[in-house]
Every structure is written in C-alpha cells, then in structure tokens.
C-alpha cells in the first residue's frame, strides 16, 4: 500500500500537496506518508547543513537569476515530487531551493512549533548565492507550505512574489502523524508559539476544518496578516476541496488584502471541479491519470484541467513579478 501511494503521489506531482492540510485522513490508516530525502536531479546540489536541508537548482539562463524558496506540506521530508517541481521551475529560469523543514533527523517530528526561522534562514541563504539576484526573491508553497509562505511573507519586505496553493487564511493547531494530541501551534517564532486556530474535532466523517474555521472570528490573533505582504500574491484553490476549505480561505485572504487597499495585486484562481489535488504541475499528456487525484475532491477531468490551466499561469505570474525592474521602477 505504501509503495502504491508513493508511486501515485510522484505520478501526480503531489509531494507538496499530498495530505498537507493536517493529515486527518490518515487517522483511520495504519501508516503515514513515508519520509523521503531524495538526492537532487541532474544539475542540482544537495544542501545538507545542520540548519538547512534542501535541494538547490540554479535556474537556466545567463547572469544572476530570480530565486524561489519552494515548500512542501505536512508529508515532511523532501520527496521526489517536490524535487521534480523544483526542477521544472529551474528549467523556466528560476533558481530554486526545495526545502525540508520537518520530519527529518534534527527537525521537528510532529507538526508542532515548526520555527518560522527555518524559512527565513533559507531565504537569507538564497540571497547570498552567486547564482541569485537577491532583489528578485519569491516563496511558493502548497497547503501547509502555503500557510508557512504567507506567514513568512507577512514578516519580511524583501519578497517580490508569493504563490500559495490551496492556502490557509489562519495559522492552525499542530498535529502528529501518530495522532497523539498536539495542543500547540503548528508554528513558532523567536521561541514562542504563533497564535493559532484550534481544531475542534478529530472525527474524520466529514469536514473537520470547516467547523473550526467558522470560529475564526473568535480567534482574530490566528489570522495571517496578509495585508502586510509587500508583493503580489497568487492564490490557487479547488472549489471541491474535501481536505480543507481552500477556496473560502483563499477568498478571505484576497478580501483582507483588498480591504487594506493594497497597491499590489492579489490574483485568485479558483477551479470549480477541482479538489485538493487540482494544483501543481500539469500531468504529462498521454499518461494514465492516477485514480487518487480525486481522493480529496474534484473530478478527474476537473483536477487535470485545473493543473493544465494553473501551472502555466503560475509560471507566467512568477516571470512577470520577478522580472528585472527598470530604473524608473527602482526609484
């Protein structure tokens, strides 16, 4: 079963999206997603430092390239699918660091109090690389990775683009793949918990995040201050997401930024027949579509179409946002 799960995940390119909203589906299963630490593909470099673990890919093209910090989700580790997404981005001219931030040795083993400094340290490392133009930096994540991307982007002003796929408008309570209780935030900052929205039920017989999200107004401190993000934001979601309400949360993110009269665009791509797996790279033509693409909502055709539309538009968004600025723009 584990091997079948892994093969299907890689075929879908789901590493950054698979089971990433909190792992509740696996509460009824005898296993969690396998922990991977893949070696980089051709042209990549394995970064294996005590406080920085990832695969680094210089972008194709001459001169210093725009850079992307790429975040997977609650599967943890550094899987083949996330690594494959990094390679696709590098071919488009972006220098990419696919980051592992929990479940590997020396990292948090529970999705509990994961330090935001892990991500800021990775961004600062990228800025020092000779291959990188430090003035053209982006962060890109899916589900729990999108939650982290938005939290980090709201705290620093040197990012030029943010991509958040099936995102969250709040910081959520943490969880553990052993399903032991975790009564703490998913994230920490400066050694202190980031305020979070509690998950009110662990019953996997329907929507567990929706009822909790309905109480978000009672926990305003858990809201991610997305109005502080000083860069354009691209949000992608599936209207039929059965893992968590990504489209309602994406709309709340856009509304909060719009209400703050942000001068920077917030683009929302919402796909009506797509679910949690309707984001990420488009699937290769002529190959069978794994049945698990509909596991968390959407039709097979809807998820495939959403990816076919969303991935090129993601690349176009990144290329526009990370283009070199003119002298007038710099002023």
Q: Provide φ and ψ at 257, rounded to 5°.
A: -70, -40
Residue 114 is assigned to a structural domain of this protein:
yes
Residue 267 is assigned to a structural domain of this protein:
yes
Residue 331 is assigned to a structural domain of this protein:
no
Token duo for residue 318: 């990144």
How far is residue 114's CA from residue 136's CA, in Å, rounded to a whole number? 26
Edge-first strand listing for the sheet containing 114-115: 114-115, 187-189, 192-193
Residue 244 is assigned to a structural domain of this protein:
yes
On average, the pLDDT of the chain sits at: 88
Domains: count for the chain: 1
Residue 255 is assigned to a structural domain of this protein:
yes
Say if CB 95 and CB 65 are below 8 A apart.
yes
According to DSSP, the β-strands at 233-238 and 161-165 are parallel
**Model confidence pLDDT, tens digit, residues 256-282:** 999 987 678 999 999 999 999 999 999
Which domain CATH number covers 104? 3.40.50.1820
Domain extent for 253: 2-326
pTM over 0.95: no
How far is residue 49's CA from residue 127's CA, in Å, rounded to a whole number? 17
Say if CB 60 and CB 6 are below 8 A apart.
no
Token duo for residue 186: 């998913």
Residue 305 is assigned to a structural domain of this protein:
yes
Residue 170 is assigned to a structural domain of this protein:
yes
**Model confidence pLDDT, tens digit, residues 13-62:** 443 333 333 333 333 344 567 899 999 988 999 999 999 999 999 999 99
Say if CB 24 and CB 204 are below 8 A apart.
yes
**Model confidence pLDDT, tens digit, residues 103-119:** 999 999 999 999 999 99
Residue 232 is assigned to a structural domain of this protein:
yes
**Model confidence pLDDT, tens digit, residues 65-107:** 999 999 999 889 999 889 999 999 999 999 999 999 999 999 9
């Amino acid at each position: 079963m584990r091997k079948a799960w892994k093969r299907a995940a890689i075929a879908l390119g789901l590493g950054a999206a698979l089971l990433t909203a909190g792992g509740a589906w696996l509460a009824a299963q005898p296993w969690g997603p396998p922990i991977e630490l893949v070696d980089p593909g051709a042209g990549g470099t394995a970064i294996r430092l005590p406080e920085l673990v990832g695969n680094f890919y210089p972008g194709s093209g001459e001169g210093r390239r725009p850079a992307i910090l790429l975040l997977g989700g609650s599967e943890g580790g550094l899987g083949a699918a996330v690594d494959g997404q990094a390679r696709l981005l590098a071919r488009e001219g972006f220098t990419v660091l696919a980051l592992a931030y929990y479940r590997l040795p020396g990292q948090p083993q529970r999705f509990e109090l994961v330090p935001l400094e892990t991500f800021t340290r990775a961004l600062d490392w990228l800025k020092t690389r000779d291959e990188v133009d430090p003035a053209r930096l982006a962060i890109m994540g899916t589900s729990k990775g999108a939650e982290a991307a938005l939290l980090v982007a709201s705290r620093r002003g040197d990012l030029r683009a943010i991509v958040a796929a099936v995102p969250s408008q709040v910081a959520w309570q943490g969880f553990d793949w052993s399903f032991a209780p975790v009564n703490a935030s998913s994230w920490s900052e400066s050694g202190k918990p980031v305020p979070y929205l509690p998950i009110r039920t662990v019953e996997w017989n329907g929507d567990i995040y929706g009822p909790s999200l309905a109480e978000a107004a009672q926990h305003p401190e858990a809201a991610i201050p997305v109005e502080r993000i000083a860069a354009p934001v691209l949000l992608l979601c599936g209207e039929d997401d059965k893992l968590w309400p990504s489209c309602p949360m994406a709309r709340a993110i856009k509304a909060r930024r719009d209400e703050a009269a942000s001068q920077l665009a917030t683009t929302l791509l919402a796909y009506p027949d797509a679910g949690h797996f309707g984001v990420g790279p488009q699937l290769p033509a002529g190959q069978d579509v794994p049945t698990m693409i509909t596991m968390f909502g959407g039709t097979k055709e809807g998820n495939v179409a959403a990816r076919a539309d969303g991935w090129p538009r993601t690349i176009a968004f990144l290329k526009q946002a990370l283009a070199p600025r003119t002298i007038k723009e710099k002023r």
